[in-house]
Amino acid sequence: MALIVQKFGGTSVKDAERINNVANIVTAVYREGNDVVVVVSAQGDTTDDLTEKAQEINPKASKREVDVLLSAGEQISAALLSMAIEKMGYPVVSLLGWQAGFETTSDHGNARIKRVNADRIRKELDQHRIVVVAGFQGVNRYGDITTIGRGGSDTSAVAIAATMHADLCQIYTDVDGVYTADPRKIPGAVKLPSISYDEMLELATLGAQVLHNRSVEMAKKYNIELEVLSSLTGERGTIVKETSSVEKMLITGVAKDDNIARISIIGVPDKPGLAFKIFSKLASKGINVDIILQSIGRNGTKDISFTVEKNKLEEALEQLQSYEETWGASGVVSDDNVTKVSVVGAGMESHPGVAAEMFEALYSRNVNIQMIATSEIKISVLVNKADGERAVEAIHDKFFANYN
Amino acid sequence: MALIVQKFGGTSVKDAERINNVANIVTAVYREGNDVVVVVSAQGDTTDDLTEKAQEINPKASKREVDVLLSAGEQISAALLSMAIEKMGYPVVSLLGWQAGFETTSDHGNARIKRVNADRIRKELDQHRIVVVAGFQGVNRYGDITTIGRGGSDTSAVAIAATMHADLCQIYTDVDGVYTADPRKIPGAVKLPSISYDEMLELATLGAQVLHNRSVEMAKKYNIELEVLSSLTGERGTIVKETSSVEKMLITGVAKDDNIARISIIGVPDKPGLAFKIFSKLASKGINVDIILQSIGRNGTKDISFTVEKNKLEEALEQLQSYEETWGASGVVSDDNVTKVSVVGAGMESHPGVAAEMFEALYSRNVNIQMIATSEIKISVLVNKADGERAVEAIHDKFFANYN
């Protein structure tokens, strides 16, 4: 007997059939004698429908009212799932964010969970009820409804699991686990039985988009074992935990991120402090910089290149161009026709040959590398967008050819 | 400067255009320097859509979960109306039932408001905000969401008005006031400038369906002045208050109720207590009996006739037939091809000729009267359904011919 937290995303509850399917999964775990807390997202299109209604009335509506509006989505799916579980004859109760004790900051639309007061959830579990919690939402100190932004319901689920010391937190989604590469693109991609928090974090950052970083970070902090799995296949998924497996795999995955653009500032005078000024200017506008490369130029100047999210490119260029003269640079150029390809693996820490093998794979397929960045468990390269798919294939073949 | 509570029904907020229209009405009253609390119902079809979703999953869902589901409807319309008011540049805040302090009994789907703790509403008004409250909903002592059943949002509005001693409670609806008869049927029907609580109660019972009885009863108890008016015409509506006007009108309205059926128990032995047994049997099944007529039959027997709501007819007949022999009655017959036509007016208390004039009007158009019931301020007759329209016309002509 264990305490299991399960989270189901919007596609898993999109219609009556899928809701009944979720009810089957939930009650099967309950029947085994477990305490079950279920966190649900809004049904497939509900959030979009509600957003559209708001847009029509006031595209600049306050975030407070947007939160009141959108939180109705999870309220609806929580009630419907509870009804499906009732129909199967099991005791169940739905709780909204404020009822489930989600106390958050007041940052509407992107609130942080300060604390989960799980008294009510515990009381319901003591009554042997399945507890269905509306994800994504909480309440601030003034008693106003908040939503917790990106990755919302995943984060809700992990927060409950952390607060209640759950034995497992299952994240049901429309993929059945974490793969060595995007399985829709790379036929040889393999599902990993397990992966470490750090590897999962690197993969999430790199656009694998299975789990939101925020939920993985919280799981890591409180050492909550996550399982990523599909609500349709019924197969075991991928476990995310502190150490991935006894025999550490060299690398666990290859990921590609197209949402990226490169900026180069050309001919910057070679004086101390300039890089700091440039990047703090961008940071002050909330623009995150990723791979940074600085090269020695001619005549005591240097070129500084870096990548930003593609949708921040324009804003970044505006910032930089207004300071170009002040800094004495000779020009700013950009390229959004690029892709970042990365390999991730805790094993590479103790295995210095990975970078060389990766570069060899790319060379063998004639892929030109524009920039390189490395961390303890990740190597990323920037390549032409047209070469992206080929690069992922090449690297995946190199490291996973004999995995199956 | 006054405190004004305004309630808008589902058709008044059914789409963006109508919501903007409501925002115009609300802000106009606010601009005049008034404190404004607005109560909204769910948008036109939302409640039906949500009910349909629930039906598909579990037609026998618990009332608790149905309340969680349905209360999302008013949540959505409250947020949308607030957004429309924001767009016009006015300070506004939406509050759900639990935030607005609606404390109710636990009778899900039909909860009674025990108390409105209006602290939060007052605080928001002190900040000069327009307060938009989701109607129809509250919270019970366990912190669970409840809905307050029929006439819900009207009752929510009157409860706030009563608690906060509002100067006026405006009920915006799709008719522009209370008429002397149904204006869609009777061309000469006239809008009343005012009407008393008691008259309004009689008219509501009689199927005029402008205001739900529960809200009128509450308004009467706390002496809250109501105004029934249209959200589209911008005209003054009908004021409902303690005394209707200085020169009391003889009668204020003619109403027709088709949702009725007549039952007769034939040949009941003329012994004491039998009527009590019959009607307590029906009461125990929640069947309300309206007009009752007892006639002396032959050979020491009597016939007892009465009316019930049409949709309760079958259930009533089942109850009666199973006891027919016990009571020694010779038969039970029923007729659902009947209509109740009533005149209401506080003036008739001191004017005994009204009944005679009414019967004369019916006689002049050859309408046969099956049953008659009277109260201090109402006279009802049961007639053939086919005669219903003609009966209303005849009576209306008699009393209101010179009103315009």
Read off the pLDDT of residues A9-55 as tens digits, 9 standing for 90 and up. Answer: 999 999 999 999 999 999 999 999 999 999 999 998 899 999 999 99
Rounded average pLDDT over B75-89: 98
3-state secondary structure of A336: coil
Tell me which chain A residue has its CA closest to the CA of residue B63.
A83
- Residues on chain B touching A72 (C-beta within 8 angstroms): 72, 75-76, 79
pLDDT, greater one: B346 or A90? A90
pLDDT, greater one: B65 or A270? B65
* Mean pLDDT of all residues belonging to chain A: 88
Single-letter amino acid code for the residue at A82: S
pLDDT of residue A371: 86
pLDDT at A328 over 90: no
CB atoms within 10 A of CB B67: 25
pLDDT-above-90 percentage for chain B? 52
Rounded average pLDDT over B343-349: 79
pLDDT of residue B249: 65
Note whether A39 and A82 are within 8 A (CB).
no
Question: Number of Cβ pairs closer than 8 Å across A and B?
Answer: 113
Categorize the per-residue pLDDT at B132 as very low, low, confident or very high, splitting at 50, 70 and 90.
very high
pLDDT at A227 over 90: yes
pLDDT, greater one: B58 or A306? B58
- Residues on chain A touching B93 (C-beta within 8 angstroms): 64
- Residues on chain B touching A120 (C-beta within 8 angstroms): 143
pLDDT, greater one: A404 or B218? B218
Give pLDDT tens digits for B35-79: 999 999 999 889 999 999 999 999 999 999 999 999 999 999 999
Among B185, B209, B177, which residue's Cα sits nearest to residue B391?
A: B185
Return the axis-axis angle of helices B16-31 and A46-57, rounded to nearest 10°. Answer: 50
pLDDT of residue B246: 43
pLDDT of residue A246: 43
pLDDT of residue B297: 64
Rounded average pLDDT over A279-287: 83
pLDDT at A270 over 60: yes
Rounded average pLDDT over A128-153: 93
**Residue A68 and residue B82: Cβ atoms within 8 Å?**
yes
- Nearest by CB to B58, which of A58, A75, A86? A86
- Nearest by CB to A58, which of B72, B75, B83? B83
Test the B interface: residue of A43, A48, A57 with most B CBs within 10 Å: A57
- Residues on chain A touching B120 (C-beta within 8 angstroms): 143
**Residue B20 and residue A68: Cβ atoms within 8 Å?**
no
- Nearest by CB to A56, which of B16, B62, B68? B16
Rounded average pLDDT over B103-124: 95
pLDDT of residue B142: 95
**Residue B58 and residue A98: Cβ atoms within 8 Å?**
no
- Residues on chain B touching A108 (C-beta within 8 angstroms): none
Strand order across the A226-230 sheet = A92-95, A130-134, A35-40, A3-8, A168-173, A226-230, A238-241, A194-196
Which tokens belong to A328? 């004495």
Question: What is the 3 state secondary structure string of B310-341?
Answer: HHHHHHHHHHHHHHHHHHCCCEEEEECCEEEE
Residues in chain B: 404
pLDDT at A248 over 70: no
Residues in chain A: 404
Q: Which residue, chain included where needed, has tokens 């070679």?
A: A270
Which tokens belong to A185? 């693109």
Strand order across the B137-139 sheet = B113-116, B102-104, B137-139, B145-147
- Nearest by CB to B54, which of A56, A80, A145? A80
